[in-house]
Amino acid sequence: MLPEMSEMPNAPAAYPRMVRPASGRVVAGVAQGAAAQLRLDPVVLRLAFVLLTVIDGLGVVAYAALWMFTPKEEVKGRAPAREWGQLAAYGVLWLALAGFAWMTGASSGGFGTWPIAVGGIGALILWQQADPGRRQRWMSGAVKQVSTTWVRTGIGALLVVVGAIGFLAASGELAKARTGLVFTAVVVGGMLMIAAPWLATLMKELQRERTERIRQEERAEVAAHVHDSVLHTLTLIQRNAHDAREVARLARSQERELRNWLYQPKQDADATLAAAVRRVAAEEEDAHGVQIEVVCVGDCELDEGLVALLHAARQAMVNACKYSGAPVVSVYAEVEPDEVTVFVRDRGKGFVLDDVPGDRMGIRQSIIGRMERNGGSARVRTEPGDGTEVMLTMKREK
């Protein structure tokens, strides 16, 4: 077996090829594979095959054909055992159905077959609808899906009724059954009338319960978040009450985290420039305990040059936090159609640029050198007592 082959089932594909899974198979995994392909419950397809087998043995032929043309799912190690218990259950079901078909003469084919087929398919659709897990998923889904559920239920019910009437008509029982049918209709109608208000209340109750549950889940999520982050930070703050710097840092990082949770759209932290600048600023703020105010105008995807820009900006933030002595650092990033500019500014001590020894890596190498190597430019403006501003510009890749 090729190693790549075994990876195949896990690889995401737009239209995955139908395979026969080995685990949970009853005969050869055909029904399970087809069910996965059609997004149905495998039980439904198994019942369909059993039903078709009763009618002229069609199911056996269909099953064999699918068996031949469907590749087996590759498994590592020993193949799991067949589900013998289920196989026995389907066997018993088949015996019962075959016996019923033989008694009514439907198994011999012809006109009498169709009512059973139609009724059976209708029943299968209804049965499928009644699957609780599936229904729950539909209910939580879009309105559109809910409406298709109703359409399917309607079609299923219609097929069952047509099948039943067709069966009666085919076996010549319809005329005899007419009085019985009227009687049944009246009884069922009356029971419905009696039960309707109760059913309606039940529905309403269910609806209410579901809303309540959703609300509770929401509340639980908020509570969990508050507990995990806010309460935790508050504990840390109490423990560090003597250290003003640490308290400020904790409060600040918690504030940022909460803000992100409340206002920030979910975005990939590394996909776009604005998100990346915010992330870098947050990390350096945490590391140095100096507040970094970030303002971003516009946004774009990161490319190689912009990653270099981001590294240089990080170095500038580190310098400002470590050496300037200023309580706040301002970072401003602007994305323009053809270039990106980042400013890192503090109102701290400042320094004389020419006095910085040549072997100091921070400014010369990590900022200016890095920007120039990547086709950008860096400018540092500083004066003792007048703060520092680092301006980084990088052309955008077209």
**Interface with other proteins (CB under 8 A):** 259-260, 263-265, 293, 295-298, 328, 330, 332, 334, 343, 345, 347, 389
- For other proteins, the closer of residues 50 and 326 by Cβ is 326
CB of 245 to other proteins, least distance (A): 17
CB of 277 to other proteins, least distance (A): 12
Q: Which two tokens stand for residue 92?
A: 């018993």
Q: Which is nearer to other proteins, 79 or 226 (CB)?
A: 226
Residue 341 class from Cβ within 10 Å (0-12 exposed, 13-18 middle, 19+ buried)?
middle
- Please state the closest distance from residue 321 (CB atom) to other proteins, in A: 14
Q: What angle do CA 36, 41, 44 make, to 5 degrees?
A: 120
The region that residue 70 occupies, defined by phi over 0 for left and psi between -120 and 50 for alpha, beta otherwise, is: beta
CA-based nearest residue to 343, from 332, 353, 356, 358: 332
Q: By C-beta, is 128 or 330 nearer to other proteins?
A: 330
Q: State the nearest-atom distance from the C-beta of 253 to other proteins, in Å.
A: 14
| Least Cβ distance, residue 329 to other proteins (angstroms) | 8
Residue from 351, 380, 388, 383 nearest 363 by CA: 380
Sheet holding 291-297, edge to edge: 291-297, 328-335, 339-346, 388-395, 377-382
- State which residue, 147 or 264, has the beta carbon closest to other proteins: 264
The separation between the first and the last C-alpha atoms of the chain, rounded to the nearest angstrom, is 45
| Dist. CA 7–CA 166, nearest whole Å | 50
CA distance 396 to 305: 7
Coil/strand/helix, residue 301: strand
Given the complex with other proteins, which of 93 and 248 has the nearer CB atom? Answer: 248
Rank residues 240 and 291 by Cβ distance to other proteins and give the closer one: 291
Q: Which of 48, 43, 39 is nearest to 18 (CA)?
A: 39
Contact 73, 29 (CB under 8 A): yes
Q: How far is the CB of 200 from other proteins (least distance, A)?
A: 38
Q: Of 352, 349, 361, 358, which Cα lies nearest the Cα of 381?
A: 352
Comparison of 116 and 316: residue with beta carbon closer to other proteins:
316
**Least spacing, CB of residue 236 vs other proteins, in Å:** 20
Number of C-beta neighbours around residue 302 at 10 A: 16
218 vs 255 by CB, closer to other proteins: 255
Question: 140 Cβ partners below 8 Å, 6+ apart?
Answer: none
Closest to other proteins by CB, 190 vs 327, is 327
